[in-house]
Amino acid sequence: MSGGAVPSAANGADGDERAMAAASRRPRRKRAPWRDRQGRFSWFKTAVLAGCVAPGVLVAFWLATNDIGSRPIKGALLWIGLWTVRFVMIALAITPAAQAFGWPKLLQVRRMVGVTACAYALAHITLYAVDQNLRLGTVAGEIVHRFYLAIGFVALLGLVALAVTSTDAAVRRMGRGWKRLHRLAYPIGVLALLHYFIQSKANVGEAVFLAGLFVWLMAWRALPPGWRDRLAAPAALAVLAAAASAGLEFAWYAIATGIDPWRVLAANETLRFGLRPAHWVGVVTLGIALAIGGTRLLRRRGGMRGFGGALPASAARE
């Protein structure tokens, strides 16, 4: 009798393992974007979702009320394109922000913002096709023959690839390849900015501003983890980002326009004409540096609940 009990227990254990394996292979129920991983309603994710949807709703309202210029579709196309670039930059900022402020909860919305950038990019190219009277042959020809459209289309394909592989199942299935693929977000950011620069022609103020913030984000990611903890690091990166913005603006006007780049550079040396994009980059990134320093001081004194949690190891290394 004792000999018969052992196989019975072993069979039970094997049955449990098989059941667990089957459960892991079973498709998980899709969560609504306003719920956390435990399926609970999240005010934080709901607020971020509302922020993601709001620009598109506003553009749709402008279209419905004919309040978006003499060429409504063209106006909507430009606004949605602008928000595509903005959401790409916001998605790239989430991990550095979570690291800098010690706020791992931010990582909960990284996927949502990235997918939002892809959705706006798809809306952007759809509006372009509508602006071309849905002549898809013309659209394809323009993409092939116009450099800024070609790089924009490459960026769109990259965003689609990242969006369709952003699910938990894709992460498990692709293993280490998933992280390699999603590092394409950085060159996609460069292509999106270059597309925006070329489309803007001589009026590159916001393109320069976004490029300066991109420099700050990439410089932060390049810092060794130990350096990120130093209070002087964010301020030093602010100076670097502002200088890089002025340099990018100078280079753009020198290469792509007939405007004297030295006059543009000289405008960055004075406030007589108002704040230039490089100035705004400096103001915003120095503000970020002050916010990071203040947050860290308060956290050390125990005055900020909800901050200072441990980041996932993968995020901490990025």
pLDDT in tens, the chain (318 residues): 444 443 443 444 444 444 434 444 444 566 788 888 878 888 999 999 999 999 999 999 999 998 988 899 999 999 999 999 999 999 999 999 999 998 899 999 999 999 999 999 999 999 999 999 999 999 999 999 999 999 999 999 999 999 999 988 999 999 989 999 999 999 999 999 999 999 998 889 999 999 999 999 999 999 998 888 888 999 999 999 999 999 999 999 999 888 888 988 888 877 777 889 999 999 999 999 999 999 888 887 775 555 555 555 455 445
pLDDT at residue 201, as a whole number: 85
Closest listed residue to residue 191, CA positions, set 159, 144, 239: 159
Q: What is the pTM of this model?
A: 0.84
Instruction: Give the rounded distance of the alpha carbon of 233 from its chain centre.
Output: 22
Tell me whether residue 74 is in a domain: yes
pLDDT at residue 28, as a whole number: 54
Report yes or no: 299 and 293 within 8 Å, Cβ to Cβ.
no
| 184 and 61 fall within a common domain | yes
Instruction: Give the rounded distance of the alpha carbon of 63 from its chain centre.
Output: 26
pLDDT at residue 8, as a whole number: 40
The total number of residues written for the chain in this structure: 318
Domain span at 67: 52-200
| 226 and 168 fall within a common domain | no
- Let me know the angle formed at the C-alpha of 91 by 52 and 214, rounded to the nearest 5 degrees: 125
pLDDT at residue 300, as a whole number: 79
pLDDT at residue 102, as a whole number: 86
**Listed residues 168, 200, 232: the one ending a domain:** 200
> Helix (H, G, I), strand (E, B), or coil: what is residue 41?
strand
| 141 and 184 fall within a common domain | yes
Tell me whether residue 165 is in a domain: yes
* φ and ψ at residue 230, rounded to 5 degrees: -80, 135
| 96 and 191 fall within a common domain | yes
| 143 and 224 fall within a common domain | no
**Listed residues 200, 220, 235: the one ending a domain:** 200
| 190 and 272 fall within a common domain | no
| 100 and 224 fall within a common domain | no
pLDDT at residue 310, as a whole number: 53
pLDDT at residue 304, as a whole number: 55
pLDDT at residue 258, as a whole number: 83
Structure tokens at 89: 């930059």
42 Cβ partners below 8 Å, 6+ apart?
Answer: 34, 35, 36, 108
**Listed residues 173, 200, 227: the one ending a domain:** 200
Q: Number of structural domains, the chain?
A: 2
Closest listed residue to residue 101, CA positions, set 220, 185, 198, 274: 220
